[in-house]
Amino acid sequence: MMRWLAVALAGLLACGAASSAEDALRIGSKNFTESIVLAEVLRLDAQRHGLQLEHKRAMGGSAILWKALLEGSIDAYPEYTGTITRELLHDVPADATLDQIGEALHKQGIGIGQPLGFDDSYALGVSQELATRLGLHTLSDLRAHPELRFGLSNEFMSRGDGWPGLMAAYGYAPKSIKALDHGLAYRALAGGAADVIDLYTTDAEIRNYHIQVLEDDRHYFPSYQAVWLYRLDAAQRTQQFEASLRDLAGGVSLQAMQDMNAAVMLDKRDETDVAASFLGIRGATQQSAGMLDRLWHRTLEHLRLVGISLGAAIVFGLPIGIFAARVRRFGQAILAATAVLQTIPSLAMFVFLIPLLGIGARPAIAALFLYSLLPIVRNTLSGLASIPAPLQEAAASLGLPAGVRLLRIELPLAARTIIAGIGTAAVINVGTATLGALIGAGGYGEPILTGIRLGNVPQILEGAVPAALLALLVLALFQGIEHLVTPRGLRLPARN
Amino acid sequence: MEGPVLFSVESLSKRHGSGLALDNVSLRFEPGSVTALIGSSGAGKSTLLRMLIGLDWPDEGQVTVDGQPLQPDGRMALRRRVGYVTQDGGLFPHLTARDNLALLPRHLGWSAAKIDTRAQELAERMQLPQDLLRRFPAELSGGQRQRVAVMRALMTDPAALLLDEPLGALDPVVRFDLQEQLRQVFADVASTVVLVTHDLPEAAFLASRLVLLHQGAVIQDGPPEELFAHPANDFVRRFINAHRDLPQVRP
């Protein structure tokens, strides 16, 4: 009976170990379209030079990508100068020149490429129709029209480099300001609910909605030039890598970037496809060609997350549960502690673990491990504690050592409950592992997150359906194991 | 095997809730003797029996085994020398009858052949059909289960045999047959036997010495004939008389 348990565990762990870990150069992207497209452009360009790069898509926000670059889990990613000076480096002024930034980065072993050719900064926009009617070209032109209604995003309203500073710099005194969600701003403008909105200069919607972006003639907004950040050691090691990074400098105009964003966001084209068109490549190969390949790859990633974390939870949870059953006083404290772990929201758990374990699979596995502990510990404890008192006494009266009693009598009697606990942990684990994609752990969560970002339901389903199927499969697997480990004598109806 | 155990208890007291489960009890159980602890429910019989192998501990007083005070770290060694049977048998439901019998012998390093030989020998003595040994407890009748439980207690030829209401849950006919077999077993083994029962005729049939407990204290101690001839007090008299006479049934 215990043999079956061992076989099942070994199987799970073997799935986990079968992960991809070749020593290729890796590039990353943030979790928005522009970043992903740029990284795909770099990947395809390098491919043209005969260099294969692995692109870890949509890993997270700036902090996560920066940390990954410093740790060496990626070798390059696209970043913006304003973000570098304001968020990543603390020893350079906000208006530092590229040379100053490069110097500061160099100390950390990081290189900065020449600007790619566009600036993705905040701006204000009005409809082209209004711009023509009132003759609006620059931000200064707005001052003469206090009657225009401003619809501004919440973030822009509150940022130091957003509305408060802008209002002072240009001396605006508008009669009406409304806070909007950024996603709704363009529709508000089109619907006539607002006349002026804030936007990012590369937003795909700018052309679609016929927006006139007003020129920042007083240079109030900081510069957010797109650049590559890369590891100096990787660039030195691989000539073609450095060549590709250089290749693209100055090659991506604002117009081109807007077009590429629009192609993905509005025309629903694939990022790889869009990047290939930009480079003039035909028939670009996706990183993982077919859907089956992708699915297989993600399934392995997902199983690895689930297998390792669950295996570890069993290895630690069983002894903890046994200990808790033996020493009842600690039992309650242990249960309380694992229950507290359970209440920590997964996102918060990931955030706690990132400083300790970096990003990627490791913090995700650690978080899943912690979540899996409660059901296993609790069921081990209750399985052992619910052995009827006369049987416990009969076991004690035989004079067998505690270890023998545990293996031959107590664990077999509690096996069904314990396996049910492991099964619960496994099913929860399969579901929670999809959130691992938030911190670059891969798995089924990746297409779900991308699908949410692009509003692409089929893509969401590409992750959600296999995740649900895997959960069902795991459920069935553990029901089978439960049946196998339940001693035959316990399945018989009692008779008198 | 070694000789039968000498148990003795000195001034055992045990509080139980507001009352006393045992009240200053001192007794000796001579090697090879067969003693029945009798009395009403809650008289302290089972508590006393359990204390002999350290399943329960007295608040005051001491248990000695072959002259040595029983210590917590000596319990396991003692229990391996003692067979213990409870009212519900205490068979493990996940193991077949044979595997229940094999638990302790296997730990002591017996070969499978030796275990099976001994099991067959005991099955014969307890009149249990051999093929029932392959069954799980849930597939056995109540009487069969108790037979297996007694066999498990006898497997390693213990130096003492403690039985706590071993026939308490059986129907009268099965009980009658098993009383006969138990008497034979007690006569055959050299072990010191202590039996708990609230059934006076059963006690008198199985044991050569009766110890009557009431509210945790020993009221009378002696051979059955003495108990019947000279009841120590009114309670003993009532205990003896608490049986209905049946009209004679013609064969």
| A199-245 per-position pLDDT tens digit | 888 888 888 888 999 988 988 888 889 999 999 998 888 888 888 88
Among chain B residues, CA nearest to A413: B94
pLDDT digits (tens, 9 = 90+) for A346-389: 878 877 787 778 777 888 899 999 999 999 999 999 999 999 98
Query: Based on the domain organization, do B34 and B48 belong to the same domain?
Result: yes
Asked whether the predicted pLDDT for residue A338 surpasses 90, the reply is no
Tell me whether B80 touches chain A (CB under 8 Å): yes
Query: Based on the domain organization, do B102 and B220 belong to the same domain?
Result: no
Pairing mode of beta strands A226-231, A76-80:
antiparallel
Burial degree of A56 (CB within 10 A; 0-12, 13-18, 19+):
buried
Asked whether the predicted pLDDT for residue A22 surpasses 50, the reply is no
Please tell me the distance from the alpha carbon of residue A56 to that of residue A68, in angstroms, as a whole number: 11
Q: Is A443 left (phi over 0), alpha (psi -120 to 50) or beta?
A: left
Asked if B137's CB is within 8 angstroms of A397's CB, the reply is: no
The number of distinct structural domains making up chain B is: 2
Among chain B residues, CA nearest to A493: B138
Nearest to B103 among A400, A490, A493 (CB): A400
Which token pair is A250?
């100055």
Tell me whether B128 touches chain A (CB under 8 Å): no
Whether B91 maps to a domain, the answer reads: no
Whether B219 maps to a domain, the answer reads: yes
Please tell me the distance from the alpha carbon of residue A363 to that of residue A358, in angstroms, as a whole number: 7
Asked whether the predicted pLDDT for residue A496 surpasses 60, the reply is no
pLDDT (0 to 100) of residue A427: 94
Q: What are phi and psi of B63, to 5 degrees?
A: -105, 130
Chain B residues near residue A397 by CB distance under 8 angstroms: 53, 55, 79, 82, 84, 90
Asked if B104's CB is within 8 angstroms of A400's CB, the reply is: yes
Query: Based on the domain organization, do B222 and B201 belong to the same domain?
Result: yes
Query: Based on the domain organization, do B72 and B105 belong to the same domain?
Result: no
Please tell me the distance from the alpha carbon of residue A147 to that of residue A161, in angstroms, as a whole number: 24
A20-24, A133-137, B123-127: range with lowest mean pLDDT: A20-24
Pairs of CB atoms within 8 A across A/B: 79
Q: Contact at 8 Å (CB) between A212 and A78?
A: no
Query: Based on the domain organization, do B180 and B141 belong to the same domain?
Result: no
Chain B residues near residue A408 by CB distance under 8 angstroms: 103
CA distance B244 to chain A (A): 28
Asked if A413's CB is within 8 angstroms of B77's CB, the reply is: no
Chain A residues near residue B91 by CB distance under 8 angstroms: 394
Query: Based on the domain organization, do B220 and B232 belong to the same domain?
Result: yes
Nearest to B94 among A393, A487, A493 (CB): A487
Domains of chain A, each with CATH number or no CATH = 21-119+224-279 (3.40.190.10), 122-213 (3.40.190.120), 290-491 (1.10.3720.10)
Asked whether the predicted pLDDT for residue A89 surpasses 60, the reply is yes
Average predicted confidence (pLDDT) for chain B: 90
Query: Based on the domain organization, do B228 and B173 belong to the same domain?
Result: yes
Provide the 8-state DSSP code for B54.
T
Tell me whether B20 touches chain A (CB under 8 Å): no
In one-letter notation, the amino acid at residue B158 is: P
Q: Contact at 8 Å (CB) between A324 and A39?
A: no
Please tell me the distance from the alpha carbon of residue B239 to that of residue B199, in angstroms, as a whole number: 10
Query: Based on the domain organization, do B169 and B143 belong to the same domain?
Result: no
Among chain B residues, CA nearest to A487: B94
The C-alpha angle with vertex A212 and arms to A142 and A186, in degrees rounded to 5, equals: 100
Asked whether the predicted pLDDT for residue A21 surpasses 50, the reply is no
Asked whether the predicted pLDDT for residue A8 surpasses 60, the reply is no
Which token pair is A277?
């068109």
Asked if A489's CB is within 8 angstroms of B95's CB, the reply is: yes
CATH number where B42 lies: 3.40.50.300
Asked whether the predicted pLDDT for residue A466 surpasses 60, the reply is yes
Asked if A398's CB is within 8 angstroms of B141's CB, the reply is: no
Among chain A residues, CA nearest to B144: A496
Residue where a domain stops, chosen among B157, B175, B193: B157
Asked if A489's CB is within 8 angstroms of B138's CB, the reply is: yes
Q: Contact at 8 Å (CB) between B138 and B91?
A: no
pLDDT digits (tens, 9 = 90+) for A446-458: 888 878 777 778 8
The C-alpha angle with vertex A477 and arms to A471 and A478, in degrees rounded to 5, equals: 95
Q: A399: Cβ–Cβ under 8 A, 6 or more apart, which residues?
A: B75, B76, B77, B78, B79, B80, B81, B82, B104
Q: How confident is the model over A21-47, as a mean pLDDT?
A: 85
Query: Based on the domain organization, do B58 and B170 belong to the same domain?
Result: yes
pLDDT (0 to 100) of residue A20: 38
pLDDT (0 to 100) of residue B169: 82
pLDDT (0 to 100) of residue B2: 65
Nearest to A404 among B78, B107, B142 (CB): B107
Nearest to B86 among A394, A413, A495 (CB): A394
Per the structure, the complete domain to which residue B213 belongs is given by 7-81+161-241
Asked whether the predicted pLDDT for residue A182 surpasses 80, the reply is no
**pTM for the structure as a whole:** 0.68
Whether B32 maps to a domain, the answer reads: yes
pLDDT digits (tens, 9 = 90+) for B39-85: 888 788 999 999 999 999 999 999 999 989 999 888 999 999 999 99
Query: Based on the domain organization, do B147 and B187 belong to the same domain?
Result: no
Asked whether the predicted pLDDT for residue B34 surpasses 80, the reply is yes
Whether B69 maps to a domain, the answer reads: yes
- Band the pLDDT of B152: cuts 50, 70, 90: very high
- Band the pLDDT of B251: cuts 50, 70, 90: low
CA distance A475 to chain B (A): 25
Which among B34, B32, B45, B130 is positioned nearest to B87, based on CA atoms?
B45
Please tell me the distance from the alpha carbon of residue A199 to that of residue A23, in angstroms, as a whole number: 40
Asked if A492's CB is within 8 angstroms of B88's CB, the reply is: no
Residue where a domain stops, chosen among B157, B175, B194: B157
Asked whether the predicted pLDDT for residue B183 surpasses 90, the reply is yes
Which token pair is A414?
């509690």
Residue where a domain stops, chosen among B157, B178, B208: B157
Query: Based on the domain organization, do B138 and B18 belong to the same domain?
Result: no
Chain B segment 58-77 residues within 8 A of A by beta carbon are 75-77
Whether B2 maps to a domain, the answer reads: no
Which token pair is A110?
């990081």
Tell me whether B169 touches chain A (CB under 8 Å): no
Whether B127 maps to a domain, the answer reads: yes
Whether B246 maps to a domain, the answer reads: no
Q: Mutation test of the interface with chain A: which of B50, B92, B96, B171, choosing the one with the most A Cβ atoms within 10 A? A: B92
Asked if A413's CB is within 8 angstroms of B138's CB, the reply is: no
CA distance A396 to chain B (A): 8
Whether B223 maps to a domain, the answer reads: yes
Query: Based on the domain organization, do B63 and B128 belong to the same domain?
Result: no
